Every structure is written in structure tokens, then in C-alpha cells.
Amino acid sequence: MKEIIVVGAGYSGAVVAEQLASAGHKVRVLEKRGHIAGNAFDQKDEHGVLVHRYGPHIFHTNSDVVFDYLSKFTDWIDYEHRVLAQADGALHPIPINLDTINGIFGTSFTEDEAEAHLKSIREPVDQVKTSEDVVVSTVGRKLYEAFFQGYTRKQWGLDPSDLDATVTARIPYRTNRDDRYFTDTHQAMPADGYTAMFERILDHSNISVELGVDFFAERDRLKPSHIVYSGPVDTYFDQCYGALAYRSLRFEHEHIADQDSYQPVATVNYPNDHAFTRITEFKKLTGQTVSGTSIVREYPTDDGDPYYPVPRPETQVLYHRYRELVNKERHVTFVGRLAQYRYYNMDQATAAALKAARTLLDGIA
């Protein structure tokens, strides 16, 4: 068999490459950036703090298959993520829990009382269509305005009333005091960082990795037997139907030399204040004990690398036009958040890549 080309060295590309290589196929990975690991890329800054260059990545999954697979390439540090949000001049747990409810309403509810209160302030919606509908019908307007409306406007550049219900379709809330952001079975951070994990995934005699290579600049000269593509689907087809909508992020990294701790938890959200959405302090993710501390502020923007597909009905209509073209590409596998125009967490991206690799291997067996 001729060489298989994998475009992108993030989760989707790296996992497929490893699976194909382990099955005996020669794989050439082309990565446009100057590093592997995609948006999960991490490295020590000049002060020795391990930072995530593209914002915080916290691994969590309920899938034993995904966790066991990645565990072949990394040891783990147990970590449970906790997030606070600034509202009404105070910090409150997110997702909403009993302490959040009591803090916002100035009450001292029990669990049952909190549930009854939420029931009394919900705004029933005949047909849930938008993100606003989801939240106000679940936790009421005051909590919606305190934690969701402003954050969503900044994150997406759109009011929740203009966004598909899927954005907030499963708004978690609790009437107990559980303040963990995730409740998944497996919650951990790779012991040596994400980049080290990716280095091990791609460390195979059948894999070659080329960094700083633009697939589209080389496209006409490549003669692979198959292409695995993890970039933006509209870019692959030269945006022949127009550009799909993506949201991007700008990151402002800062090191504070005279503080060993900047904030009480790893991530603090700012739904109503400032132009940024959140601040993350990396030492609280990694457990490092170096002096000083490093943080990052996130500013959502329409410009820059594509991060998030914009979930609106009209974008799905456009994507499905591209999907018809995807279905006609017999020698190309499209996998990943950008190629499938779908928001994936890291575990979902891994699972999708494992599935894509199985399908491809079945077809070329």
C-alpha cells in the first residue's frame, strides 16, 4: 500500500495515525503549526510553569475505552476541576449548586427548598428553540442574567436568544453542594503534560511527522493511497459554498512573579465584567510548586484560528452542503471538530478518531 497522509497532529490526526501505524501502514503526518498536540499543546514558559498555549485543557471522560487507550501513552495526576464565576460582586460555584443559589438570592435554602425555589422561578417555554429558552426554563431569568447571558454574548458574539438550543441543551445545575465542574468517572491531567503524551502517541517507526507544512500548498504533489483530514471542512473544498462560521480565541498570557497563587481555583469566569471570559491559573491544573504563577485570559473573537463551530440553524444548512461533498470523497476520511463541524471534547475527539481508524482499516484490510 502507498503512504497514508494524515493532515493535522491534534487528537484526531495523532490517534488515527497511531492506529494505522500499529496496523502496519506507513503514515506521514503533515502539521501546519510548528508543534504537535493541536490546541492541547503545552510547554513550560520561561519561568518554568507548564502552560497550555491555547487555553486550559482538562481531561474528563466516562469512557473506559478512551481512558484506557490514552493511558498507554501517559500516566495521570488525579484532578477535579472547580470553577467560580464573578457575579454581583462575589465569586459563586459553577455549575450552579446550592451555594450558588443561596449566594445569588441571599437565602439559606436546604436542597429541597432550593429545588422548590427554582421550580417557582422557571419560565416555561412552549417550544424550546434557543439557548435562552433552555436556561430560563431550567433555572429562571435571574440566574440566566447572572451567569449565562453575558458570558454567551462574549463567547459567541451573539445573544443566547440567537443561538441554537444545543449550546446550553444540558445546562447542569445541582441543589446539593457538589462544586466539581465535571462529574465524569475519569478526571485527570497527563502527568508530564499533553505534548509529552502526543509525542508518545506519534512515536512509531511507521509514522513520520512534518511540522510547518501546509497541506494545501503540497496537495497537488502528494500521491497517497488515502488522506485523513482533520482541518476545516470548508477549507478542503476551497469554500466553494462560502465560509462556515467559526469562533476563535485570543490568549493573553501573564506571569506574576511575586504571587504563588492568583485566584482560589484554577478557572474563574467573568460573565458580566471585562472583555475576557475567564482567567485560568495553570499551577492549579498541574500541581506544580514552582515560585510565581502564570495565568491566561481568554478573549473570544471572530478572527484567528477556527476553534468552535457556531451552532445556528443556518450554519448547519451550509455544513450539510459540504457534507454532501464529503460523502463523495472516496479516498479521504474527514475526522475531528473542524472536519466534522462539531464541538468535540478531548475524549469525544479521541473516540471519533478511534472509530474513524477502525472504519478505514476495515476498508483497506
Q: Is the pLDDT of residue 1 over 60?
A: no
Note whether residue 272 is domain-resident.
yes
In this predicted model, which residue has the larger pLDDT, 348 or 1? Answer: 348
- The model's pTM: 0.95
> For the residues 64-93, what does the mean pLDDT come to?
97
Check residue 167 and give its pLDDT: 83
> For the residues 281-309, what does the mean pLDDT come to?
96
Contacts with 279 (C-beta within 8 Å, 6 or more apart), sequence order? 262, 263, 267, 268, 270, 295, 296, 297, 298
Check residue 98 and give its pLDDT: 98
Say yes or no: 216 and 103 in one domain. Answer: no
Percentage of the chain lying above the pLDDT 70 cut? 99
Check residue 308 and give its pLDDT: 92
The lowest-confidence range among 51-55, 63-67, 219-223, 276-280 is: 219-223
Note whether residue 176 is domain-resident.
no
For residues 319 and 343, give the distance between their C-alpha atoms in angstroms, rounded to a whole number.
13
Q: Is the pLDDT of residue 82 over 80?
A: yes
Residue 142: give the domain boundaries.
Answer: 90-168
Note whether residue 180 is domain-resident.
no
Q: Is the pLDDT of residue 215 over 80?
A: yes
Closest CA relative to residue 136, chosen from 152, 153, 148: 148
Report cis status (omega within 30 of 0) of the bond before 309.
no
Q: Is the pLDDT of residue 365 over 80?
A: no
Domain end position, chosen among 118, 133, 168: 168
Check residue 89 and give its pLDDT: 94
Say yes or no: 225 and 327 in one domain. Answer: yes
Q: Is the pLDDT of residue 170 over 70?
A: no
pLDDT tens-digit map of 224-245: 999 999 999 999 999 999 999 9
